[in-house]
Every structure is written in structure tokens, then in C-alpha cells.
A and B are shown apart, each in its own frame.
Chain A
């Protein structure tokens, strides 16, 4: 079975470490916040200028002056800090964020990522994504492995305009956890019940499959 959005988030959360500062992109990455292991201290960075993003507010707590990078109303976690946009991207570009999780339309086995534009169809802009992929060392891309019509999104070369070049090393899809190195995809784990043949079939870029590919574990 392919992973649900929640399960993808749950698997990403297993990569969190105590004391991490983490930037979560819009969509599935946001859900990772729901699976921070109990007792672990993690602060979420929101690039509009908040370190220590809390949960959504109650009706009474709603504050138009307190939003996240997805423009959603939020609260502040204990120990939060507020700063301007240049300071926020100094943290990101300076490599101070421990883990960045973001979505993508396509990745390729050179570590390129396309996530912000579909020419003629979707022209919204890159927001902070280009800064995040250029500045962070530890990035996990979350995405579906293939389109609904079965076309692979893990390519030998991205077709859409790039968000970043040679910067992606790990991809978690609904089917597999994949590492990118030496110009190849390497299969690390597969979703429970998903066959290696399915993953091979839906991966357009060169895929290295080791003899033993463990299934992902969920609590």
C-alpha cells in the first residue's frame, strides 16, 4: 500500500532529533509537526520571521499579526523568537537550520529539484524555496512517486524549471525512501506492502536496488 499523507509525515518525523531547528514547507511537510516524538524538543522555523511556531490558535487566540509562511494563523511555542525577513533568511542561507522538509513536482538523480512553476499552467513564484534548497544541507523532499496517470516524478533529468541544482540528497515518496548520490537514485526503504518491481517501474531515473530493501516501520 502506498503511504498516506499522514504516513509520509510520520516517516519524516523519524528523522527528527532532539534539539533540532526545522523548517517545514507547505502541504505534507506541515503535517510532520503532528508527529514530533513525545519528550523531544524541536523548534519550527517559519521563514516569514518566526522561530518556534506553535499550533493553530483557538478562536479567542486568533491574531492577524501572527501567521506562518503559509499565511495561516498560528501561535508561538515556548521560547519563540520573532525577527525580520533578512534575519530569517540569514538563518536559512547561513546553514543554521538542521532539517528542511519541502515538497516538489520533480526531482532527478543529479539532485536537482523542480517545485515552483509549471510553464503556462502554474506561475505563482518560488517564495523561499530556492533559498531553502540552496542554504540547507539536510533536506528531505516529500512527494508522490508518480502522477495519477502513472508518470514518474523521479527522473533522469527534471523537465520543469529548477528550484535548485544538485542540492537534494533524500526523497521520501508514498512508495519509497530514496537517497541520491553519484548521479543515481538508491532505494533505502519501501512502503509496507509495496513491491520493488512497482518502485522500479515508477522510477524513470537510474535506480540502484540493494539486495535487501527493508519496509518502513511505523509505531
Chain B
């Protein structure tokens, strides 16, 4: 009996049940707040024909990008896919199907799936290629398109701290899509830097309540930086 204890101790157990052809929703923005080791486990496991839903597809070397040379992803749903050489090649050859989705719509698709909302209307994308084939409705004289929620067979997220019940706390902008992804998986796996006993996290500080989380694993992270920008004493850019 493990009761409410969500802790697993190895990556095989963390991703147990992942099969070819499944849909995976992944948290992260660029390489910030990505579940690095869960992604590596998917690569190691060799699952194929995956649909992956995430804001980006990593870089050539890191993040979800590592699943591209092994051709494990057949469809990618993302808002921005600019930093990966393999990506464009596979997209142009037709090996990889890509559904470009506006960032806010992508976040809302995850949030809606987790909240049991099958679809929602938004003004984002009206009059663009994104609107093609989607039902349109007018509210108060403005045009909106209907966007469907996206549920994952798996959701994989990265948090800073967890307790054994799977309550999660994120750190700084590594939060991004993670709390939304966490709600949208049939099986949600959280990879964290530290696991503490239930009761040790302040309930007022929890970002993702453990009810959404099925498995928690403690990992060590490389945390690669895509754009290492530093200010010099004379440089005010980015102020």
C-alpha cells in the first residue's frame, strides 16, 4: 500500500506504461523548467510515433530535441520551434507533422483539459492560418474561434520541490507551462530537485496540489541556458 505516497525511485518506474503512439504533454519554456531526465528516459526507452505537446521542441543538443535524431516524435504541437536543425529537416521531409499553436492558446488548451473544459473560444488567431477549419462565433460583435483542449496520456513536468503526496512548488520562471501540463495528463509525472515529507511544505505556497500528480521522482539537473546574457557595467540593455 503506497496510499498517497507518489514517490518513485527510478526513471523506468517513473515512465512505466508509456507506449508507442501516445500523446505526451511536457512543461518547460525553451530549456527552462524542462523535465530533463524524464525526456532522456523516453529516449532510452525508445518509444516511437509519439505526439508531443510543449511550447518548444528543445535545441539540437538538449530537451525534447534529443528525441528527434532517433525519430521518436511523429507530431509536434508547439508555439515556437526555431532552435533545432533536425526539426526543420524532418518537417520538410514529412517525417514530422507540426501543428503551430499560439502560446496562449497552447497554455489554455492544457488548462482546459485539466479542468474538464472540452473547448473554448478565443480571439487569438482569428483571420490567420490558425483559424482554418475551426468553428467561428461572434460575441458582442467580435469574432472568436473555437479551440479544443488537449489531454495527454502522459504529462511530464519539472518542479523545484515536492512533498511525498505530490504537492509541487516551482521556482521563478521555471514554472511556465508546468502547472498547466501537470493538470492535463492521464498520468502526470513530476521530476523535482528535492522531495520532503508531506506536511513540510506550507500549504499556502503550493502551486500544484498533489491531486494532479501520480508520480514524483527526485533528479539532478543540468539546467542548460540558451541565451546567456550578462550586463557589463556600461551596458544597460534589458534594464
Distance (whole angstroms) from the CB of B159 to the closest CB of chain A: 11
B104 within 8 A of A: yes
Asked whether A85 lies within 8 Å of B91 as measured between CB atoms, the reply is no
Contacts of A47 in B (CB 8 A): 103-104
Interface of chain B residues 125 through 139 with chain A (CB within 8 A):
125-130
Interface of chain B residues 1 through 60 with chain A (CB within 8 A):
29-33, 55
Interface of chain B residues 223 through 239 with chain A (CB within 8 A):
223-231, 235-239
Chain A 112-141 near chain B by CB (<8 Å), digits 1 or 0: 100000000001111111110011000000
Asked whether A33 lies within 8 Å of B237 as measured between CB atoms, the reply is yes
Asked whether A48 lies within 8 Å of B104 as measured between CB atoms, the reply is no
Asked whether B237 lies within 8 Å of A67 as measured between CB atoms, the reply is no
Interface of chain A residues 161 through 199 with chain B (CB within 8 A):
161-166
Contacts of B30 in A (CB 8 A): 67, 71
Cα distance A184–B139 in the bound complex, in angstroms: 27
B82 within 8 A of A: yes
B123 within 8 A of A: yes
Asked whether A89 lies within 8 Å of B29 as measured between CB atoms, the reply is no
A82 within 8 A of B: yes
Asked whether B231 lies within 8 Å of A126 as measured between CB atoms, the reply is no
The contact of B78 among A58, A89, A125, by CB within 8 Å, is A125
A151 within 8 A of B: no
Asked whether A72 lies within 8 Å of B128 as measured between CB atoms, the reply is no
Asked whether B231 lies within 8 Å of A58 as measured between CB atoms, the reply is yes
Contacts of B238 in A (CB 8 A): 30, 33, 53-56, 68, 72, 74
Asked whether A64 lies within 8 Å of B224 as measured between CB atoms, the reply is yes
Contacts of A83 in B (CB 8 A): 175
Contacts of A48 in B (CB 8 A): 29, 32, 173, 176
The contact of B227 among A53, A71, A82, by CB within 8 Å, is A71
Interface size class of B (residues with CB under 8 A): 35 or more
Q: A30-B238, A73-B229, A130-B130 are in contact. Are A123 and B91 (CB under 8 A)?
A: yes
A59 within 8 A of B: yes
Asked whether B127 lies within 8 Å of A56 as measured between CB atoms, the reply is no
Interface of chain A residues 6 through 54 with chain B (CB within 8 A):
30-31, 33-34, 36, 46-50, 53-54
Residue of A whose beta carbon sits closest to that of B239: A55
Interface of chain B residues 92 through 140 with chain A (CB within 8 A):
100, 102-108, 110-111, 122-130
Distance (whole angstroms) from the CB of B50 to the closest CB of chain A: 19
Asked whether B227 lies within 8 Å of A67 as measured between CB atoms, the reply is yes
Which of B105, B207, B229 has the largest number of chain A CB atoms within 10 A? B229
Asked whether B108 lies within 8 Å of A89 as measured between CB atoms, the reply is yes
Contacts of B230 in A (CB 8 A): 56-59, 62, 73
Q: A71-B32, A84-B107, A131-B103 are in contact. Are A125 and B81 (CB under 8 A)?
A: yes
Asked whether B107 lies within 8 Å of A64 as measured between CB atoms, the reply is no
Cα distance A14–B21 in the bound complex, in angstroms: 53
Cα distance A93–B142 in the bound complex, in angstroms: 14
Asked whether A128 lies within 8 Å of B173 as measured between CB atoms, the reply is no
Contacts of B79 in A (CB 8 A): 125-128
Which of B82, B123, B239 has the largest number of chain A CB atoms within 10 A? B239
B174 within 8 A of A: yes
Contacts of A162 in B (CB 8 A): 127-129
Distance (whole angstroms) from the CB of B52 to the closest CB of chain A: 14
Distance (whole angstroms) from the CB of A192 to the closest CB of chain B: 24
A92 within 8 A of B: yes
Asked whether B128 lies within 8 Å of A163 as measured between CB atoms, the reply is yes
Residue of A whose beta carbon sits closest to that of B122: A93
Distance (whole angstroms) from the CB of B94 to the closest CB of chain A: 14
A66 within 8 A of B: yes
Cα distance A112–B80 in the bound complex, in angstroms: 21
Please give the residue numbers on chain B whose beta carbons come within 8 Å of chain A beta carbons, in ascending order.
Answer: 29-33, 55, 78-82, 88, 91, 100, 102-108, 110-111, 122-130, 160, 171-180, 207, 223-231, 235-239
23 contacts between A and B (CB under 8 A): A33-B239, A48-B29, A48-B173, A49-B173, A53-B238, A62-B225, A64-B174, A66-B173, A67-B226, A73-B230, A74-B238, A82-B175, A84-B107, A84-B176, A85-B29, A86-B107, A88-B107, A125-B79, A125-B80, A125-B81, A128-B104, A130-B125, A135-B124
